[in-house]
Structures are given as C-alpha cells and as structure tokens.
Amino acid sequence: MEKKNIYGWKLMHTYNELPPFFYTNQPPTPAKEPKLVLFNKELADEFGLEQDKLESPIGAAYFTGSQLPTGADPIAQAYAGHQFGGFTRLGDGRAILLGEQQTPSGKSVDIQLKGAGRTAYSRGGDGRAALGPMLREYLISEAMHGLGIPTTRSLAVATTGEFVQRERPLTGAVLTRTAASHLRVGTFQYALVFGENEEVKQLADYAIKRHYPELIDVENKYIRFYEAVADRQAQLIAKWQLVGFIHGVMNTDNMTISGETIDYGPCAFMDTYHRNTVFSSIDREGRYAYVNQPYIGQWNLARFAETLLSLFAEDEEKALQIAQAKLEVFHTQFEKYFVDGIRKKLGLFTADEADEDLFKQLLYLMETYKADYTNTFLALTFNRLDSLALYQQADFKEWLEKWQTRLEKEGKSAEEVQELMKANNPALIPRNYFVEEALAEAVNNQDYTAFNTLSKALENPYAHTCEQGAYANSPEISEYYQTYCGT
C-alpha cells in the first residue's frame, strides 16, 4: 500500500465537510492512453511535489484522473450563476476536485482536474476537454501570474489518447488547475436559491475561515466579509484593465470569493486600445467588453449581496440598506486602484488633482489614433516616442508637454521614474497572434517549441529582456479576432 504522502501529495478535504448539498462524490473517468505534455516544475516545487517522479507516466496517470493520488477524495462542486444575465443551475460539468494540497509554506490549494469526465452536473455534455483550450488556459493563466495578477494556475496538461467530438474530432486533454479555492459568487447563489438560509450561513462561515480568517471573531463579520470580497474584486478588475486584459465571460459563476481570476475560455489581451473591445464569439452585445468590466464586477457583487442579506441583518429593509451602501462604494474603490496603477505606469510617485484628466486624455488619444495599448506605455518608459505613429500627432505632443511638466513636480531622477515605469509596464503580453501560432503548432504538429518559448518569455514580463522584444509587435493585427469558450 502507498504511503500517505507519496510523491509529495498531502491532500485535505475541508470542502467535503460541508453538507453533501454542495457537492457530489465523483471519481474521474480514466483516460485511454495518458500522456503528459506540459508540467509546471516551478509550481510543483512550490506545492512540495516531487517533480522528478511526477514528470513520468505516473504523473500522466495522476493528471488525467486515471490514477488517484493517495488521500484523494474526488468531488464535483455544485453552483449556479447568471450567464450573460440569465440565471441557471450549474456545477462542475467536466471538472473534479481531488482535494486541497497542503504546501510547505502552509497554504491550502485546490487541485482540480478539468476535462476529467462526466459528472452529475454535466447537463448532457461529455465532461471532456480538447487539447487546444487546455493549453490556452495553461499559457494565459501562467502569463497572468507573471503579470502579478491574482489567478488560478496550471500544474499540468496531459492528453487522454482519445478524441472529443466538437465541430470535428479534437485531441482530448485534461488540465490540472490549482486555486486558492473554487468558491464562487455562483456557489452562494446556489445555496440561496436551492437551499435555505442555513446553507448560506454554513458556506459563508466556511469561506471566511478559509480566505478571511482575520474576520472570524469580528463584529458584523458577514458585512466585513462582503466588504473584503468586494475590495479584492475591485483590485483584480483594476489590474485587468491596466494590462488590457478582457475576461470575456464574467458570469457570476466565474467570480471567485478569493479574488482570483478564473476561467480562461474567451479571454484575450488588447493590442489596439479601444474601450469597446470584445473578443468572445458569444458576447454579441458587448456585455463583457473592456469598458464594461468594472460595471459587470459591480453587478455581480450585487448578486452576491443578495445571497447574504439574511446575514447582514434580521430586518430585510435594514439588510437592503446595508447592501446598497456597501455596493455603492465599489466603483470608488475600483477607480482608486485603477488611477493608482495608471499613475505608476506614467512614473508618478504622488497624487495630484489634475492626474485623472491627464490619464483620461492619454487614453482618449490612444483610442482616437488607434495606438497599441502596451507599446504606447513602453515607448513612454524607454523614451522611444519616434517609434509611435501617435508621436506625429500635434495633440499628443501637447499631452507629452503636460506629462513632462507633471513629472518635474515629482522631483525624482530620470532613473527613478524609469524604474517605476519598468516595474508597471510589461515588456510583452500574450498577444493573440503569438498565442494562436503557439497553439496551432502544439495541437496540429505536436511541436511545443513556440509554446515553450512564449511561455518562458511570459514568466517575468517586467524583465524587459531582448528576447521579450521579439513579442512586442504582432505581424498582423486583426480587429476581428475572436475567441471561443472551449466547451
């Protein structure tokens, strides 16, 4: 018999201590021919896993669900959600939670297999995943981590030796996703709509204990809990906006209680700056466009507040007043985080009343003249303004003078300003052209050279190396680029 922590696995199951109402026991479906194609060695080390042992056929078996780590107690989680505004009952239709890995640093991290087979929540789906979307999630989630944005992460991708049928047969694969937890706003909606107030309270107590333990014994802890989740979401969405990231499917089941980014289906990064940019093929009305992300974040938090009303106050009217007051703070919080971030991107160490107008004018000029979002800030950082078509515009030169005047008020050296800007303006993002090129080579030709090279460049996007410069411009920018959910 295997030892409890063979290969470094140390799994706990606090979520399973909640009532069965919240989950279904669900073993993964074994794969026909498991094969490991990507393995995140750095993350494995962080989790205390023996990477040399798992980078092998046994790792492929674990990362497809064909063999369970000792101590695993697999479940599929139940949740609900508003998808494009319409409410529906959901759940892990193709994802299975093995347990919570206890890391050497004392963290508890969900280990989930995405694409591991049918569950009680599959709703007619096959429970499987195709290789391309799983590679995409691996690449983008790790890039987000490199950018310093809270995110679920990817430990491995393994193929199953089987095809999944979509529009055509595709190579089957399983992604091993890790997260602080997979608790969502949609989990609370599920508890409220399909359970009772007691289930909502149990879930809130669990979430507080797991993610906000400092609130366990405070007065009005459920109100404080809501405030903490809202604040993390304000920070998160501001970070998205600051690098031009567009999530693409901000349903309530894709808003985590921990404040991590989750679900990398139809997401993408802007090249040319435009507030109304949409990439998702299914977002035909632009609900989740770049400009709308803060407002959708607030809308989702309104749905979250609805689930907690009974915990805010016994009197319904008072509970509604509390929720409304807390919700109104969100946009102010978001604006603060976003403006602070833009300030750093422009090398400003202090705040000034005129800063917001300075920032808005720059974004207006970028949109008017179809400037590249990332590269405009890079050109400002390294004083490569003659590389910008924007530099030929008289109104942009006027803006530059205002910016230089504002910098002089800081009293900082040119070196200090540049270091601040380098730390806040990435050398590269996962540009759509290079992402698609890397995925096509991996999926169609089983050649991971481009994928691995791009992944390496994205590990530390603030390093500003010569190698990263190769990804600064896409050979061709398409205004009609579309992404798909991968299901």
Please report where in the chains the tokens 């005047």 appear, as a residue.
405
**Are 266 and 206 within one domain?**
yes
Catalytic residue among 92, 110, 253, 283: 253
User: pLDDT at position 484, please?
Assistant: 55
| Cα gap 327→316, rounded to integer Å | 16
| Binding site per annotation, positions for ATP | 91, 93-94, 114, 126-127, 177, 184, 263
pTM of structure: 0.95
The pLDDT tens digits of the residues spanning 423-461 come to 999 999 999 999 999 999 999 999 999 999 999 999 999
**Largest separation between any pair of C-alpha atoms in the chain:** 75
**Are 213 and 348 within one domain?**
yes
| Binding site per annotation, positions for Mg(2+) | 254, 263
- CB neighbour class for 20 (10 Å; exposed up to 12, middle 13-18, buried from 19): exposed
With cut-offs at 50, 70 and 90, classify the pLDDT of residue 232. very high
**Alpha-carbon torsion, ordered 228, 231, 235, 236, to 10 deg:** 60
| Cα gap 242→337, rounded to integer Å | 10
**Are 465 and 476 within one domain?**
no
Judged against a pLDDT cut of 50, whether residue 371 lies above it is answered with: yes
Domain annotation covers residue 132: yes
The answer to whether 64 and 116 are in contact (CB under 8 A) is yes
Query: What is the average pLDDT across 85-103?
Result: 96
Q: What percent of the chain has pLDDT over 70?
A: 96
Of 190-194, 207-211, 287-291, 386-390, the range with the lowest mean pLDDT is 386-390
Judged against a pLDDT cut of 80, whether residue 353 lies above it is answered with: yes
Task: Print the domain residue range for 446.
Answer: 432-469
The answer to whether 334 and 237 are in contact (CB under 8 A) is yes
| Cα gap 76→116, rounded to integer Å | 11
Domain annotation covers residue 235: yes
Residues whose CB falls within 8 Å of the CB of residue 330, separated by 6 or more in sequence, listed in order: 230, 233, 234, 297, 298, 301
Judged against a pLDDT cut of 70, whether residue 481 lies above it is answered with: no
Asked if 52 is an active-site residue, the reply is no
User: pLDDT at position 3, please?
Assistant: 44
Positions of E strands within 141-270:
153-165, 169-179, 245-246, 268-269
Query: What is the average pLDDT across 87-112?
Result: 97
The three-class DSSP label of residue 261 is strand
Judged against a pLDDT cut of 50, whether residue 478 lies above it is answered with: yes
Tokens at 117, concatenated: 């087979």
Query: What is the average pLDDT across 120-129?
Result: 93
User: pLDDT at position 474, please?
Assistant: 73
The pLDDT tens digits of the residues spanning 43-88 come to 999 999 999 999 999 999 999 999 999 899 999 999 999 988 899 9
User: pLDDT at position 303, please?
Assistant: 98
**Are 284 and 313 within one domain?**
yes
Domain annotation covers residue 388: yes
Domain annotation covers residue 1: no
Instruction: Decide the pairing of beta strands 129-130 and 169-179.
Output: antiparallel
Query: What is the average pLDDT across 156-167?
Result: 94
Domain annotation covers residue 440: yes
User: pLDDT at position 486, please?
Assistant: 54
Judged against a pLDDT cut of 50, whether residue 1 lies above it is answered with: no
User: pLDDT at position 101, please?
Assistant: 98
Domain boundary among 152, 179, 206: 179
Domain annotation covers residue 269: yes
User: pLDDT at position 477, please?
Assistant: 54
**Are 123 and 224 within one domain?**
no
**Are 168 and 214 within one domain?**
no
The pLDDT tens digits of the residues spanning 235-292 come to 999 999 999 999 999 999 999 999 999 999 889 999 999 999 998 777 878 899 999 9
**Are 478 and 461 within one domain?**
no
The three-class DSSP label of residue 83 is strand
**Are 113 and 225 within one domain?**
no
Please report where in the chains the tokens 């179809």 appear, as a residue.
370
**Are 163 and 303 within one domain?**
no
Question: ∠ CA 282-285-291 to the nearest 5 degrees?
Answer: 105
| Binding site per annotation, positions | 91, 93-94, 114, 126-127, 177, 184, 254, 263
What amino acid is encoded at 286 in this protein?
G
Domain annotation covers residue 405: yes
The answer to whether 300 and 334 are in contact (CB under 8 A) is no
User: pLDDT at position 384, please?
Assistant: 93
Instruction: Decide the pairing of beta strands 169-179 and 108-114.
Output: antiparallel
Domain boundary among 137, 163, 179: 179
**Are 172 and 297 within one domain?**
no
The three-class DSSP label of residue 177 is strand
Please report where in the chains the tokens 């996007």 appear, as a residue.
461
User: pLDDT at position 2, please?
Assistant: 41
Query: What is the average pLDDT across 183-202?
Result: 97
**Are 191 and 160 within one domain?**
no
What amino acid is encoded at 143 in this protein?
A
**Are 120 and 13 within one domain?**
yes
Instruction: Decide the pairing of beta strands 153-165 and 108-114.
Output: unpaired
Domain boundary among 179, 209, 239: 179
| Cα gap 369→291, rounded to integer Å | 18
Under DSSP, the state recorded for 231 is: H
The three-class DSSP label of residue 105 is coil
Domain annotation covers residue 252: yes
Question: ∠ CA 364-259-376 to the nearest 5 degrees?
Answer: 25
The number of folded domains in the chain is 3
* One-letter-per-residue 3-state SS of 117-162: CCCCCCCCCCCEEEHHHHHHHHHHHHHHHHCCCCECEEEEEEEEEE
